[in-house]
Amino acid sequence: MTAPALPELRRTPLRRLAGVDRLAVAGGVLLGIIVLAALLAPWIAPYPEDGGSATHPAESLLPPSGAHWFGTDQVGRDVFSRVLFGARTSLLIAVAVLAVSGAVGVVLGVVAGYAGGWVRDVIMRVTDVFLAFPALLLSLALAVVLQPSVTTVIVAIAITWWPWYARLTASVAASVAARGFVDAARCLGVPAPLIVLRHVLPNSLTPVLVQLSLDGGGVILTAATLSYLGLGAHEPTPEWGLMVHRGQSLFTTDWWVVTFPGLAILVTAFAFNVLGEGLRARLSR
Amino acid sequence: MTGPDAAAVLAAEEVTLAYGATAVVHDVSLAVDRGGVGLIGESGSGKTTLARALLGLMRPRSGVVRYGSRDLAALDRAGRAEFRRAVQPVFQDGSEALDPRMTAGASITEALTTHHRMSRAGRKDRVAALLADVGLDPALAARRPHEMSGGQRQRVAIARALAVEPRLLVLDEPTSALDVTVQAKILDLLEGLAAEHGLGYLLITHNLGVVGRLCRTSSVMFAGRVVESGPTAELLTRPAHPYTRALRDAVPRLGGEPPRAAGRTEAAAAASGCPFLPRCPLAADRCREEAPRPRDVEGRKVACHRAEEVLDRAPVAHPRADASSPAPRVPHDGSETPDAPRQ
């Protein structure tokens, strides 16, 4: 019974690897296109001035056509151009939130995980306090207190996001800290901060990177939610959540105003997820 | 080192070690000087925990670990740095002991530069020389652990330990993760290096044959206690503790767990009496009531009430008490019939 199992054993990982890579690559490519669109928006948008405060009352609410692929909104701006510019806002928010919360979370997590003892207890209890609040509620409360703006959105989301990275990193770092090469470094007399930087941090990063890419979509959705509720970006900033909010009452009559920014949110969140899933499957192989 | 115990580089004095509330090593004393000292015991006997304490990775709950004449826990910064340079570990598994993200060269360089500044060229030369010392091609410096064999990784770990020019090595089952043939080569290497550099070493193992070859004196641990210690040859030929005897009788099954020694250590049963009681073939009433204290019996220390009887028992016909080379006769792959090759 053991003999026929062999070829199967040999083939399966390969096939899985191939499939996994395709998934990660697909997510990466999709995300790459979105990033390119964001970067090149001023040049590829058919009506770059519509990304700003321009208005064309005479052309309001035109349905999709050759001139306006995604139609126009209430004040006559080209929805396609605004979706392209909106990618800049959304990606900026996503990158800023992930960078800030990732950095804070990883630093605290690695220190907690390596140090253990009361240091870990203190950091983890603070983390727990932040996690105790429903994330969106905390973000909402903060966004209400602060002036609505893109910066507010970034701060409000980052504050609810970092504890997850702190907790994840702490558990990974604690297991890394217990490994032989960390003991070996301690026996060499390498100072603790260097041990953390050289050995614990690099060997703890992989799961965090996967989580970061998985979370990109979530951040964009949350940012869209805040803007949708009027607590984030405000007119005339092109932001997908805000565009959905402004267009929702027109859904039955002028569907394009809300549908295309909504689709943009969906596709971007999806791209982040596919990339993250692919990375996770590949790295945990 | 000067002081009352000038001979011992590293010593544990009545050390008790605990994880949380659970003590796993009880009142163990052990000294390592310039020669080789063996520490023998089964999995779970506390020998690795003791090694961690000797390496300063763990603080004793009670008792003292001494480096020279000084208490390890009370060393100042400079003393600690000196200790780190003097005492180096080689762990069981080279793939665990090396950072998977670092090349062999980077791992050794870390050791070189932790205590001294070194020019880039100087480092490179030293790394190459160290790799050559442990019998590796200097080109391996560019390899990461997963690109090397188990034996190569263990050699790199040894090279890293030697990089700080230590006086003493703590070898925690340095070969148990390796193939039998590679085991012999690594032991040869360690033996040669120790002689060449005048290193003392503590060799921790469950393999009596290995200790018989490399260590003049040995201690046998059971359930967190040293049950017998003395000259290795004596221990192997005439064990005075029933546990040592059981271990020795298991020697031909190299690499396998000793028959009676397998399984968990029955700590609960040892509440009042001898910790070895549940497994002891000689258990008497006295053993149930009173835990034996280590005492001197014929040139060794034994914690057994009936040590004399164990000694007097006619030695079982055992030609391989000094089974030094853990190599070819073990039919581990089943390719040899056990009965055939009898010369």
Determine which of A151-165, B5-19, B321-335 has the lowest per-residue pLDDT on average.
B321-335
pLDDT for A281 equals 79
Q: Which of A91, A123, A94, A118 is nearest to A108 (CA)?
A: A123
- Answer yes or no: do B98 and A190 touch at CB < 8 A: no
CB of B150 less than 8 A from some CB of A: no
Element (H, E) at A150: helix A150-177
Tell me the nearest-neighbour CA distance from B159 into chain A, angstroms. Answer: 12
Determine which of B51-55, B72-76, B92-96 has the lowest per-residue pLDDT on average.
B92-96
List of chain A residues whose C-beta atoms are within 8 Å of the C-beta of residue B88: 187-188
CB atoms within 10 A of CB B137: 11
> Tell me: the pLDDT tens digits for A48-76?
888 888 888 888 888 899 889 999 998 88
Structure token digits, residue A15: 């096939």
Comparing alpha-carbon positions, the chain A residue that sits nearest to B85 is A188
List of chain A residues whose C-beta atoms are within 8 Å of the C-beta of residue B100: 181, 203
As a whole number of Å, the CA-based R_g of chain B is: 21
The arithmetic mean of pLDDT across residues B69-84, rounded, is 93
pLDDT for B271 equals 61
pLDDT for B332 equals 41
- What is the ipTM score, two decimals? 0.82
- The DSSP string of A96-122 is HHHHHHHHHHHHHHHHHHHH-HHHHHH
**Rounded distance between C-alpha atoms, residue A227 and residue A148, angstroms:** 8
List of chain B residues whose C-beta atoms are within 8 Å of the C-beta of residue A175: none
Point out the residue among A184, A189, A198 whose CB comes nearest to the CB of B97: A184
- Answer yes or no: do A189 and B98 touch at CB < 8 A: no
Average pLDDT, chain B: 83
pLDDT for A20 equals 57
List of chain B residues whose C-beta atoms are within 8 Å of the C-beta of residue A187: 55-57, 84, 87-89
- Answer yes or no: do B96 and A180 touch at CB < 8 A: yes
The arithmetic mean of pLDDT across residues B257-268, rounded, is 46
**pLDDT at position B198 over 50:** yes
Domains assigned to chain A: 13-283 (1.10.3720.10)
**pLDDT at position B167 over 90:** yes
pLDDT for A16 equals 54
Residues of chain A with pLDDT under 70: 1-21, 284-285
Mutation to test the B interface, candidates A175, A181, A197, most B Cβ within 10 Å:
A181
Mutation to test the A interface, candidates B76, B102, B110, most A Cβ within 10 Å:
B110
Helix, coil or strand: residue A81 = helix
Point out the residue among B85, B101, B107 whose CB comes nearest to the CB of A189: B85
Dmax of chain A from CA atoms? Answer: 78
Element (H, E) at A173: helix A150-177
Q: Which of A280, A110, A122, A128 is nearest to A206 (CA)?
A: A280
From residue A236, give the alpha-carbon distance in Å to each of A145, A196, A228, A233, B295: 21, 46, 14, 9, 90
pLDDT for A11 equals 46
Cα of A235 vs its chain's centroid, Å: 23
- Answer yes or no: do A187 and B100 touch at CB < 8 A: no
Residue that the structure tokens 């790199």 belong to? B156
Comparing alpha-carbon positions, the chain A residue that sits nearest to B77 is A189
The arithmetic mean of pLDDT across residues B14-20, rounded, is 92
pLDDT for A19 equals 56
User: A114 Cβ partners below 8 Å, 6+ apart?
Assistant: A173, A174, A177, A192, A195, A196, A200
Tell me the nearest-neighbour CA distance from B91 into chain A, angstroms. Answer: 7
